[in-house]
Structure 1
Amino acid sequence: MAFEEIKENAEDLKQEVKNLIDANLRYYKLWGFKIVMKSTTMMLKLFLLAVMLTIVTVFFSIALALGIGYWLDNFAYGFLIVGLIYLILAILVYYVQDKIVEGPMLSRFSKIFLKKY
């Protein structure tokens, strides 16, 4: 009689462990889906924002170049000056890129991936 009870308890324990493993597996699949979706939507938002800012920058650059060209009575000089401004900005960004990009990106993704649930 005692052996039958132990056998039944062992089978119940086996079933409960299987249910626990299945529940954990479903949880981690859902958690992974959540992380992937947050990352994807954040990247899509950043991409759309970058596209819009690029369009705005192009139009402002053309307007600035034309304005400087009217002021100097030479459109080529206006576009050259705007080009030099962008070249100087590119050199500055190159030298401080780690501080601008790495810190904020690491911080944002750390909040998403390392959040305790």
Structure 2
Amino acid sequence: MSIFDSLKKKSAHVTDAGETYFEKTQEYYKLKIFQQVTISVSLVAKALIIGGLTAIGLLFLAFALALAIGNWLDSASLGYVTVGALFVLMAFILYLKRAVINGIIIKKLADKFFDA
């Protein structure tokens, strides 16, 4: 057996190993992308469902609170104005704290994506 035959066999073996590695790496990345897309779609779907139901619940609670305050003040319009002012105040506070909220969201998403 000559040196050239030995080198030819070794290079064929290395080439086969390289092709196998490339195929397995490609399969791994396809599965990883599928996992990340699935997690993302799941998060969005859950947020829409839970957020929608919460919004409907808050809407009914806001009307009930407005009616209660209106009965207490003997003026329905003052009840609605009071509840509207509370919502505007909450929105303003959330606007001021938006950086903190962004940090919390980024941390939660990073935990989901990089630990999964």
TM-score (norm 2): 0.91
- The aligned counterpart of 2:10 is 9
Q: For 1:55 and 1:113, how far apart are their aligned partners in 2?
A: 30
> Unpaired segments of 5 or more residues in structure 2?
none
SS at match of 1:114: helix
- The aligned counterpart of 2:44 is 43
Q: For 1:4 and 1:42, how far apart are their aligned partners in 2?
A: 57
The one-letter amino acid paired with 1:105 is I
The one-letter amino acid paired with 2:98 is Q
TM-score (norm 1): 0.90
- The aligned counterpart of 2:32 is 31
Q: For 1:4 and 1:110, how far apart are their aligned partners in 2?
A: 52
- The aligned counterpart of 1:102 is 102
Q: For 1:113 and 1:68, how far apart are their aligned partners in 2?
A: 45
Residues 44-90 of structure 1, C-alpha deviation per residue, up to 9 Å, x if partnerless? 11121111110000000000111111112211111111111111111
Deviation of 1:113 after TM superposition, in Å, equals 2.9
Which 4+ stretches in 1 moved above 2 angstroms? 112-115
- The aligned counterpart of 2:61 is 60
Q: For 1:25 and 1:107, how far apart are their aligned partners in 2?
A: 29
- The aligned counterpart of 1:75 is 76
Q: How large is the Cα RMSD of the aligned pairs?
A: 1.4
SS at match of 2:97: helix
Contact 1:64 1:82 in 2 (8 A): yes
Q: For 1:8 and 1:114, how far apart are their aligned partners in 2?
A: 41
Contact 1:35 1:112 in 2 (8 A): no
Deviation of 1:43 after TM superposition, in Å, equals 1.7
